[in-house]
Amino acid sequence: MHGAIAIKVPRIFYPLTKVLDYFGARSSKRKSFSAQVRAAIENSHAQALQRNDHCIEREHLLLSLLMQPPGKIHEVLNSLGCDMTRLQHQIAEAMTTYPKSKPNVDPRFSKQAGDVLGLACGIADGFDSATIETEHLFLAMLKQENNLLVQTLGISYETFYTQLKKLSAN
């Protein structure tokens, strides 16, 4: 393979490429993560590692999304009257109960976190987007049962989706 450039993929993304391959094969388009989603995934990994959490949970992803510079998610949540500081605090507090591992053990994605990524891929397809954006990931979290986000905010998938569409139209 003369002239081929090898792209180094960080190890954290190995299981995620399998998710994308699986859902991409079932979708009309090949999906990729936006830069913001990649940053959230990397940050969630760093959080879990720093906290010695056994797995990267969907709440790690959620907190990482909320800690990013303001974007569509923040705009929708603010328009729905969400107290972002309170929400971040509640998520961080809930994460203190997660099972711990030995220091410097590389955490893997939990089944729920992996499912969120798979759902986000399908949601991106519904938006006719070749890229999985932060709002797709957030909607995927809202779609899952028994999640802290819905319990804390009382915002449903439908409410967030409707407000997202409304704000995107302006």
Burial 51-77 (b: 16+ CB within 10 A, else e): bebbbbbbbbbbbbbbbeeeeebbebb
Where do we find the tokens 């779609």? 143
- Give domain status of residue 6, yes or no: no
Residue 152 has pLDDT above 70, yes or no: yes
| The predicted structure's pLDDT at residue 14 | 53
pLDDT tens digits, residue range 25-49?
A: 444 456 788 999 989 988 998 999 9
Express each pLDDT in 96-140 by its tens digit.
988 898 888 888 888 888 888 888 988 998 898 889 999 999 999
Answer whether residue 2 is part of any domain.
no
Q: In terms of pLDDT, which residue wins out, 148 or 127?
A: 127
**In this structure, what CATH number is given to the domain that contains residue 107?**
1.10.1780.10
Query: Into how many domains does the chain fold?
Result: 1
Is the Cβ–Cβ distance between 129 and 136 less than 8 Å?
A: yes
pLDDT of residue 8: 40
pTM above 0.75, yes or no: yes
Residue 68: what are its φ and ψ, rounded to 5°?
-70, 160
Whether residue 17 is contained in a domain is answered as: yes
pLDDT for position 121:
86
Per-residue confidence (pLDDT) for residue 138, from 0 to 100:
95
Cα–Cα distance for residue pair 107/163, rounded to 1 Å: 34
- Domain containing 76 equals 12-169
Whether residue 87 lies inside any domain: the answer is: yes
The residue-averaged pLDDT of 131-157 equals: 86
